[in-house]
A and B are shown apart, each in its own frame.
Chain A
Amino acid sequence: MKKLSKKFWKLIFKLLRVFILANIVLFIVFFFDLDGKLMFYVVEPFLKKRYDSMERRDVLQEAYDLDKFPKYKYD
Chain B
Amino acid sequence: MANEGKGVKIDVEKMQKKLAEMKAKGLKQNLRDFWYGKPHSAEEGGRRLGEILEDKTQLYTHREWRGVKDTLYYMYMIWGYNYLHMVTDIVKYSNNPVDFLKGTFRYRWMGQTYLPVLHWFDRGLQGMRGEALRASAWHYRAMVSASIQQMCNFFNADTRLHHGKENEAYKHTFLAKETTWGGLFYPWMDEGYRYVPMEMIPYFVTCHVNSHTVHNYIDAAQSIGLPGDPCPMCQAEAGLYVLDDVPDSSPLAITCNEACDGSVGTAILQDWFINKPLFALPMPMQFDDPLVKKYCMKEIEECWKFIEEQTGVPFDWESMRKRLEKQNKLQRDEWEKWEVAAKTDYYPVNGVAQALFRIFSSQYGIQGDFWDEASEKVKKIMYRCVEKKINSFPQTRHRVIAWSCAPLYYSNWCTWAYNCWGLNVIINMDSLMFDMEIRTDSYEHMLEDVATYHMLAPMRRMAVGGMHHIFELWDYKEKFNCDMVAMYDQLQCKGMQGVHGLFEDEFRRRNINAFWMPHALPDSRTVSRAEIRSLINDYMTTVMHEEPLDPSLLDFDDSMTW
Q: How long is the Cα–Cα vector from A36 to B120 in the complex, in angstroms?
A: 10
Q: Is the CB of B105 within 8 A of A30?
A: no
Q: Which of B59, B108, B275 contacts A51 (CB 8 A)?
A: B108
Smallest CB gap from A68: residue in B: B275
Chain B positions 91-116 with a Cβ under 8 Å from a chain A Cβ: 104-106, 108, 111-112, 115-116
List residues of chain B with CB within 8 A of the CB of A54.
106
Smallest CB gap from A50: residue in B: B105
A33 interface residue per 8 A CB criterion? yes
The answer to whether residues A56 and B243 also contact, given A27-B75, A44-B116, A74-B305 and a CB cut-off of 8 A, is yes
B80 interface residue per 8 A CB criterion? yes
The answer to whether residues A31 and B63 also contact, given A59-B241, A72-B306 and a CB cut-off of 8 A, is yes
Residue total for B at the interface (Cβ-Cβ under 8 A): 42
Number of A-B contacts (CB under 8 A): 87
- Nearest CB of B to A23, in Å: 9
List residues of chain A with CB within 8 A of the CB of B503.
none
Smallest CB gap from A54: residue in B: B106
Q: Which of A32, A47, A59, A72 contacts B244 (CB 8 A)?
A: A59
Q: Is the CB of A72 within 8 A of B242?
A: no
- Nearest CB of A to B129, in Å: 17
Q: Is the CB of A36 within 8 A of B118?
A: yes
Q: Which of B80, B119, B309 contacts A36 (CB 8 A)?
A: B119
Q: How long is the Cα–Cα vector from A65 to B278 in the complex, in angstroms?
A: 13
Task: Select the residue from B59, B79, B276 with max chain A CB neighbours within 10 A.
Answer: B59
Q: How long is the Cα–Cα vector from A47 to B110 in the complex, in angstroms?
A: 10
B62 interface residue per 8 A CB criterion? yes
B547 interface residue per 8 A CB criterion? no
Q: How long is the Cα–Cα vector from A48 to B104 in the complex, in angstroms?
A: 11
Smallest CB gap from A33: residue in B: B60
List residues of chain A with CB within 8 A of the CB of B516.
none
Chain B positions 45-67 with a Cβ under 8 Å from a chain A Cβ: 57, 59-63
Q: How long is the Cα–Cα vector from A39 to B118 in the complex, in angstroms?
A: 11
Smallest CB gap from A56: residue in B: B244
Given contacts A36-B60, A62-B272, 19 further A-B contacts (CB under 8 A): A26-B75, A31-B75, A33-B59, A33-B60, A36-B118, A39-B116, A40-B116, A44-B116, A47-B108, A50-B105, A50-B111, A51-B111, A51-B112, A56-B243, A59-B244, A60-B224, A72-B278, A72-B309, A74-B301
A sample of 26 inter-chain contacts (CB < 8 A) reads A26-B75, A30-B75, A31-B63, A32-B60, A32-B61, A33-B62, A35-B118, A36-B116, A39-B115, A40-B562, A43-B115, A44-B111, A44-B112, A47-B104, A48-B108, A50-B105, A50-B111, A51-B108, A51-B216, A56-B243, A56-B244, A59-B272, A60-B224, A62-B275, A64-B271, A68-B275
Residues on A lying within 8 angstroms of B by beta carbon are 26-27, 30-33, 35-37, 39-40, 43-44, 47-48, 50-51, 54, 56-57, 59-60, 62, 64-65, 68-69, 72-74
Residues on B lying within 8 angstroms of A by beta carbon are 57, 59-63, 75, 79-80, 83, 104-106, 108, 111-112, 115-116, 118-119, 122, 216, 224, 241-245, 271-273, 275-279, 301-302, 305-306, 309, 562
